[in-house]
Amino acid sequence: MPDLLESIQPKLPVRRDVGIGCIGAGFIMADCHLVAYREHNLRPVAITSRTWTTAEQVAKRHAIPRVLKTVEDVVADPEVEVLDIAVPPDCQADVIQRALAVNSRLRAILAQKPLGRNYAEALRLVQLCEDRGIVLAVNQNMRFDQSVRACRTLLDQRQLGEPVLATIEMRAIPHWMPWQQRQGWVTLRIMSIHHLDTLRYWLGEPERVYASIRPDPRTMRQFPHEDGIALYILEFPGGVRASSWDDVWTGPSREGSAEDHGIRWRLEGTEGLAIGTIGWPGYPARVPSTLKYSTLQDRGTWHCPTWDSVWFPDAFIGPMAELLCALEEQREPSISGRSNLPTMALVDACYLSAREHRAISPAEAAERSRHG
């Protein structure tokens, strides 16, 4: 049990004084990244945002010494070594390209997911950073949710035996952002990308995906989209299967019915079973994710480890800490831009599968995106 509980805490860098430049001052930056960084004594030194007053307020709240006018000003700041970008996905390519054009001390970038608007754009950003010698990491932060990491530890320790079936069921209504209307995205690139990446984190690379989607009746009244409710099945080598039901409608709970919101996951192996919940739908209340598991050796009993930390905002130290540790250890981050490309291909494959009513491999989706 101690090993399992220790595994949910990400490794922290030796150096905590690396200067971090912040691009964006919205919820993810102000209420997640910077809260986690302050808790672990990391060092944001400069910030900019589309709205100057917002940047000033966030800087004051988190004791960031400098509010600057542009992306270029932040990157050129002599103390900035790492750039933390939290802007909408359709703005991310422009910000990264502008950052790379500045002659500076910049060593690394932490970008949000999705890394751009599709696989082709993500690939181009990865290649641009590699060409400049800049380490690129992607904030796939569900990998750092405590229950998700604990399940990965159970798999690594072989306590569950060979994986057989993994499922994720999300019934939750996110807070939609205005930029989503520009994209016409609701679920696959915003919510399902977490689950697709988690299933890759647990099980490796799928061979193909079959997806079915439909609009969310509530959000459809606000803007047109195709992917409000997303159902998909992943096929992995060796017979392993996984699926997720991502439902941001959840019935008419906002219109007056009783609600049943939550995220539940389950992983069945040949020698054990793990079941968990994700606490995020309870935010801003601090609701820890949960885990219970049982193995053949447990003779019908459950292990139920507990912890006080939560995904939002505690787990947001994970991606930046992993990037800083990778810089210290001169290795590729586990959440590198290059390693994130299969997740982007998988999201594209879900859209293609739903439109063409057939299973699509991530390789086919990547190829079509590059030439589309």
The low-confidence residues of the chain, meaning pLDDT below 70, are: 1-2
In the chain, CATH 3.40.50.720 sits at: 10-141+318-336
Quick one: pLDDT at residue 3? 85
- Helix 119-132 crosses helix 89-100 at what angle (to 10 degrees)? 20
CATH topology of domain 143-311+344-354: Dihydrodipicolinate Reductase; domain 2 (3.30.360)
Quick one: pLDDT at residue 178? 85
d(CA 348, CA 188): 9
H helices of the chain, in order, are 2-7, 27, 34-39, 52-62, 71-76, 89-100, 119-132, 146-156, 179-183, 193-203, 217-220, 317-329, 337-356, 362-370
Quick one: pLDDT at residue 372? 79
Quick one: pLDDT at residue 195? 98
Torsion-angle region of 250 (φ positive above 0: left; ψ -120 to 50: alpha; else: beta): left
Superfamily of domain 10-141+318-336: NAD(P)-binding Rossmann-like Domain (3.40.50.720)
Phi, psi torsion values for 21, nearest 5 degrees: -100, 135
Q: With beta carbons less than 8 A apart as the criterion, state whether 290 and 309 touch.
A: no
Phi, psi torsion values for 148, nearest 5 degrees: -65, -45
Question: What is the pTM for the complete model shown?
Answer: 0.97
Q: With beta carbons less than 8 A apart as the criterion, state whether 235 and 217 touch.
A: no
d(CA 180, CA 156): 37
In the chain, CATH 3.30.360.10 sits at: 143-311+344-354
Look at strands 108-112 and 82-85 and give their pairing: parallel
Quick one: pLDDT at residue 149? 97
Phi, psi torsion values for 198, nearest 5 degrees: -65, -40
Quick one: pLDDT at residue 226? 94
Those residues whose C-beta lies under 8 Å from the C-beta of residue 61, and which sit 6 or more positions away, are: 30, 34
